Amino acid sequence: MIVGLGFSNAFSQVYTTTESTTFRNDSLFKVVKKEKTTLSYSCEAWAIQTSNTITAGFMNTLAEGGFISRDVLDPILNAHKGPKGYIGATAGFNIRWTSDPKKDKVWSVCGSFSSEAIVDGRWTTDLFELAWFGNASSTGELNVLSGSGVRAGVFNRFSIGGYKNDTRQRLELSLVQRLVGAEWTTPYGYLYVSDNADSLESYVQSEARLHFGENRKLTPAYGIGISGTVPIFPEEFPFEVNINFKDVGLLFEPEGSRVYWLQDGLTTTGLPVYGDSLTWESIYDETVSIDSVVQTGTSVSRMVLLPAKLGVNVKYKYSDKLSVNGSVYTGGWMPKYLISGGLEIIRNEDLTWGVNYKDGGWGDSRFEIWAKITTKNKRDLYVCVEEPAGLFIREDMGAQTTCRGLSIRLHR
């Protein structure tokens, strides 16, 4: 009985690597292997530039210098279908990770790290015409300048949160840093010249902020935001819906940014002309009124909204090989809703490709093509090209394009 109990204890004993194995029979003991901790991750990089009016040929002419003819300017002016023209760009990278789900655990740990540069420019049609053509064709009309401006910023983001294993919901709390930024806005402005060009009235309010202090010392700002994904899978329909949101929160700007503020007004009732020779004579008193104020200084601390981005993706599985998808996004400094829709085709187990039609954001209508290649070790390589002809920005085939973009993502 005693010997039997001894064997029973030996059978269940676990030895570590520090114990002697000289006289040990390993067949009597169980071997415990330490489980490896793995992560699912995705690494993404992108560079996208879009506009609803400005062509690649026009930007090349500005960069290289030279005469800008009406053949270049007229198509751009005619492309201003609405009250404003837009141009925007975004470039950056994003790394996301999720820990593998543990047995009987509802949540896994997830997080991300990213850096993104955003440029947003907008102007009224009247401002573009005044800058490049003058006001000869708009005398007797009110030229609106309100709402024109440009802003740029570089944002770094570190996020940590939770991933629900059964529903695939993802929620992260983000610490956001705006490393550097600048902005110029014209909240109010107009210009009016009478039909006979004998009277003029103009008024402009404009403000510029450079987010660095004296001696060009950076003044980074920090904020808190919430990011996440909420998938919805209706049981009655073959739909897949994903609600995405990023950087919903506030940015706390410190004091010390350089601020420039301008208010300028000019009014004249005309320049009187006398005599048979039509010579210019002195201007009467009070026929011209000028009011100009320029102020400079440093900013006080304030709270502003982060460039949050919200969107909804919808996917309808038509068959095992074909799916239809669509999405709507807003925010991220985009002036218009970004709407897209297209097809997803599964070629085989290793290749899936698709084509999408997009409109909005900063740009006009364009197409994008994408492909997903499945490699060994459960890795997916995703490549997306937006407006392929636009990538040839220095060539004739891309001279009339207004959009271009490239995105690459590796997922495991």
Per DSSP, the three-state class of 390 is: helix
| Numbers of helices and strands, H then E, in the chain | 4, 21
pLDDT of residue 265: 86
Place of tokens 């897209």: 340
Report residue 49 as tokens: 């530039």
pLDDT band at 190 (very low <50, low <70, confident <90, very high): very high
Find which of 29-33, 210-214, 339-343 is predicted with most confidence, using mean pLDDT: 339-343
pLDDT band at 291 (very low <50, low <70, confident <90, very high): confident
Rg (CA), the chain: 31
Q: Using CB atoms within 10 Å of the CB of residue 66, give its burial: 0 to 12 exposed, 13 to 18 middle, 19+ buried.
A: exposed
Question: How many angstroms separate the CA atoms of 44 and 40, rounded?
Answer: 14
Question: How many angstroms separate the CA atoms of 184 and 206, rounded?
Answer: 7
- The whole-number average pLDDT for the span 38-47 is 91
pLDDT of residue 233: 87
Smallest CA-to-CA distance from 230 within 297, 161, 296, 331 is with: 161
Long-range contacts of 135-141 (CB under 8 A, 24+ apart): 135/191, 135/193, 138/193, 139/193, 139/194, 139/195, 139/196, 139/197, 140/193, 140/194, 140/195, 141/192
pLDDT of residue 19: 45
Find which of 36-50, 93-107, 341-355 is predicted with most confidence, using mean pLDDT: 341-355
Report residue 134 as tokens: 């003058």
Within 13 Å and on the Cβ side, how many CA atoms surround 24?
17
- The whole-number average pLDDT for the span 397-407 is 94
pLDDT band at 375 (very low <50, low <70, confident <90, very high): confident
pLDDT of residue 8: 42
In this prediction, what percent of the chain has a pLDDT beyond 90? 60
Instruction: Centre a 10 Å sphere on the Cβ of residue 124 and count the other Cβ atoms it contains.
Output: 22
Report residue 10 as tokens: 């030996």
- The whole-number average pLDDT for the span 119-125 is 97
- The whole-number average pLDDT for the span 353-380 is 93
Question: How many angstroms separate the CA atoms of 77 and 55, rounded?
Answer: 11
pLDDT band at 65 (very low <50, low <70, confident <90, very high): confident
- The whole-number average pLDDT for the span 105-119 is 95
Minimum mean pLDDT among 39-53, 116-130, 232-246, 332-346: which range? 232-246
Question: How many angstroms separate the CA atoms of 102 and 145, rounded?
Answer: 59
Question: How many angstroms separate the CA atoms of 291 and 283, rounded?
Answer: 18
pLDDT of residue 287: 57
Long-range contacts of 348-356 (CB under 8 A, 24+ apart): 349/374, 350/374, 350/375, 354/325, 356/325
> pTM score, two decimals?
0.84
Judged against a pLDDT cut of 90, whether residue 53 lies above it is answered with yes
- The whole-number average pLDDT for the span 92-101 is 94
